[in-house]
Amino acid sequence: MKKKRSIVLYSTLALSVFAVTGCQVGTGGEDNGSTASGDNVLRVAWWGGQERHTMTLDVIDLFEEKYPDITVEPEYTTWDNYWERLTTQAAGSNLPDVVQLDYTKMNEYISRNLLKDLAPLIEDGSIDLSNVDDVYQDVNTIDDSVYGISLGSNALGMLYNAELFTEHGIELDEGYTYDDMKAAMLELKSALGDGFYGYDFNNTEFDLFFAYARQNGESVFNETGDGLGYSDETLISYFQFIQEMIEDEAAPPHELTMEYIQGGDSTIADGTTSMLLIASNQIIGQQALTEAELDLKPLPEMEGGTEGNWIRPSMSFAISEHTNQEEHAALFIDFITNDPEANEILQAERGVPISAEIRSHLEGKVSPEVEKTFAYLEYVAENSASADPLPPPGESEVRAAFLRIVESLKYGQTTPEDGAEQFRQQAESILK
């Protein structure tokens, strides 16, 4: 039987003047970020869409059935509201016991001493990682400390319209280059005419630059996280690639891309484009938007370059430093990681499960799109390089600066050379 529980649900109304940032559901009284009390109440926070919310709530019901002495209080919302909420909670030393974190933001919380080191809990078996290969956890480990347990792994991948590629004889085989990709996109545009663009940058230019820099034997950030780790020539050539794709109409103009993003729509789903960069697990949501078959390809390669891709946590669960529920928090994370029934419910929506035993258990029990993510991660595991260290604090500001310069580049308001210089100045100022 499902327990009655109080749920903290935060939501925003897109494109609305007013935002609902603290609606409490199921209880009366003022919302203070916590709606239950007691020694065995575990607060768990995550972001996501309705499908993730439903799956996670069902798993919480299962957890409470197996551990009836523990009550889980869920706190969930959309991406933007989530980080605003966590910032407020962190300032008040009121973070939930278990917190879902994106790997790009992990270091911001580590640097503020907000997360527990999970290594002792792994060593004593409270969180069992005996079926987890190191590659799935490397990014969450700093020296000998572990600050998060991956909820699922993904990698950058090129989502493409497989039916359109087949119909027009487009073949981008393993080892294809950026020039090959541009030529293929122009071929499709020529065949399909005005209103069609081959590749949508989809506001992921910064993500692709991570791989581009690695393919050049460099990295976006330096090893210490207080500066940049690439040469200006590398960024200039990348900016030239973006500029050429836009000018030749192999990619849509910036205003069209942003119109789709702000409207919550997809250019590949409605046939405006045929290819875009995603985190591999996002094929699930994209496929739900179209009847055309979508699939994943590796990233374009650099002639004479090195491997640019890597396996990363799609998101991780961490335990708040100030929790008084450490034992129960570890039990919940172990349950999510290793319980077969729980993972049947979750359907690898957050990414490929890190436990080899769970991946094996899910064979034949997940959708074709999820099966594609499993196969793609197997490919990347054999064709990737070690992950860079966690992005430093300030990554969000650096990313925003990069995207502002990309926007200026797309509108012809700056050159690749000037854009590269501007970004270096702004990024280094942020990282100091």
Distance of alpha carbon 149 from alpha carbon 132, whole angstroms: 10
Q: Which amino acid does the sequence have at 326?
A: E
Q: What distances in angstroms separate CA 420 from CA 78, 408, 414, one per listed residue?
A: 33, 12, 10
List pLDDT tens digits, range 391-410: 999 999 999 999 999 999 99
Ramachandran quadrant class, 174 (left: phi over 0; alpha: psi -120 to 50; beta: rest): beta
37 pLDDT band (50/70/90 cuts)? Answer: very low
What does pLDDT average to over the chain? 91
Residues 111-122, mean pLDDT to the nearest whole number: 97
DSSP-derived secondary structure letter, 389: P
Residues 197-223, mean pLDDT to the nearest whole number: 97
Residues 148-155, mean pLDDT to the nearest whole number: 96
Q: Which amino acid does the sequence have at 182?
A: K
38 pLDDT band (50/70/90 cuts)? Answer: low
Would the pLDDT of 35 be above 80?
A: no
| Residue 152: strand pairing partners | 315
Strand 98-101 to strand 219-221: parallel, antiparallel, or no bridges (unpaired)? unpaired
List pLDDT tens digits, range 40-89: 999 999 999 899 999 999 999 999 999 999 999 999 999 989 999 999 99
Residues 191-216, mean pLDDT to the nearest whole number: 97
Q: Are 94 and 86 in contact (CB under 8 A)?
A: no
List pLDDT tens digits, range 288-340: 999 999 999 999 999 999 999 999 999 999 999 999 999 999 999 999 999 99
Distance of alpha carbon 7 from alpha carbon 77, whole angstroms: 11
pLDDT reported for residue 264: 87
Would the pLDDT of 207 be above 80?
A: yes
Would the pLDDT of 5 be above 90?
A: no
Backbone phi, then psi, for 43, in 5-degree steps? Answer: -90, 130
39 pLDDT band (50/70/90 cuts)? Answer: confident
Which domains, from first to last, does the chain contain? 41-151+314-383 (3.40.190.10), 155-310+388-431 (3.40.190.10)
Q: Are 148 and 106 in contact (CB under 8 A)?
A: yes
Q: Are 275 and 198 in contact (CB under 8 A)?
A: yes
List pLDDT tens digits, range 118-134: 999 999 999 999 999 98
